[in-house]
């Protein structure tokens, strides 16, 4: 009789222990559900911010520069994309750019049919705003084909979007790379060492 009572008590203890475990599991599940419910607004708001910050469906891709609090372009662009606000700097700096006419003919002699140019830039960058219009005005004077000019915009990390910014080891913008076929001749990085025209002449002449 005592043995039966002992077995019965032991079974009850096991049942009670299992009940406690089940209760703890239910509490943990409830905490997890509550945590997910509380976190949902933050998850949604972060996702919404990302969608507003970078519009991957637009051509070109349009982002938002938090520092300047204005739109920026990302990925490959065309010159025609640099029109209107907030890109009015392009037309005004293009008009104001002073070309060293004495070097134009020398540069022109060094341009060949397989010369091409890649420009990695940031529309948020003051150096890009200064030197890109100057460069394109010079190339217009040289009648250099726009089909041989590629424009790529990056963000402040120089890592978005993927493409030339990583393949070409870009650390500063603008970086203007001159190619003869697939061979890199040289690059202009951020600001001229002398002047834009003199630097380009040195690159093309291999000096």
36 and 103 inside one domain: no
Q: Do both 160 and 71 map to the same domain?
A: yes
* Model confidence pLDDT, tens digit, residues 130-188: 999 999 999 999 999 999 999 999 999 987 665 666 678 899 999 999 999 999 999 99
The whole-model pTM stands at 0.72
Q: Which domain holds residue 156?
A: 61-205
Contacts 24+ apart (CB under 8 A), 164-167: 164/118, 164/120, 165/120
Same domain, 39 and 74: no
Q: HSE-up of 29 (CA within 13 Å, CB side)?
A: 6
Q: Are residues 77 and 171 in the same domain?
A: yes
Give how many domains the chain has, as a whole number: 2
**Whether 115 and 165 share a structural domain:** yes
State the pLDDT confidence band at 40, using cuts at 50, 70 and 90.
Answer: very low
What CATH number does residue 78 fall under?
3.40.30.10
Shared-domain flag, residues 44 and 81? no
132 Cβ contact list (under 8 Å, min separation 6): 90, 93, 119, 121, 174
Cα distance between residue 42 and residue 109, in whole Å: 60
Are 65 and 48 members of one domain? no
């Amino acid at each position: 009789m005592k043995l039966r009572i002992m077995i019965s008590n032991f079974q009850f203890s096991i049942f009670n222990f299992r009940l406690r475990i089940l209760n703890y599991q239910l509490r943990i599940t409830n905490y997890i559900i509550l945590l997910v419910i509380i976190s949902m607004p933050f998850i949604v708001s972060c996702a919404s911010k990302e969608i507003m910050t970078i519009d991957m469906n637009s051509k070109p891709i349009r982002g938002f520069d938090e520092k300047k609090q204005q739109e920026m372009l990302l990925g490959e662009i065309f010159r025609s994309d640099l029109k209107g606000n907030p890109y009015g700097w392009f037309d005004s700096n293009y008009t104001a750019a002073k070309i060293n006419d004495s070097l134009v003919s020398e540069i022109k002699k060094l341009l060949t049919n397989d010369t091409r140019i890649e420009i990695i830039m940031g529309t948020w960058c003051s150096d890009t705003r200064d030197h890109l219009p100057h460069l394109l005005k010079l190339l217009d004077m040289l009648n250099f084909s726009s089909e041989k000019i590629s424009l790529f915009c990056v963000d402040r990390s120089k890592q978005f979007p993927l493409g030339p910014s990583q393949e070409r080891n870009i650390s500063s913008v603008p970086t203007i790379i001159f190619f003869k076929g697939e061979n890199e001749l040289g690059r202009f990085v951020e600001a001229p060492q002398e002047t834009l025209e003199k630097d380009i002449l040195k690159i093309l002449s291999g000096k």
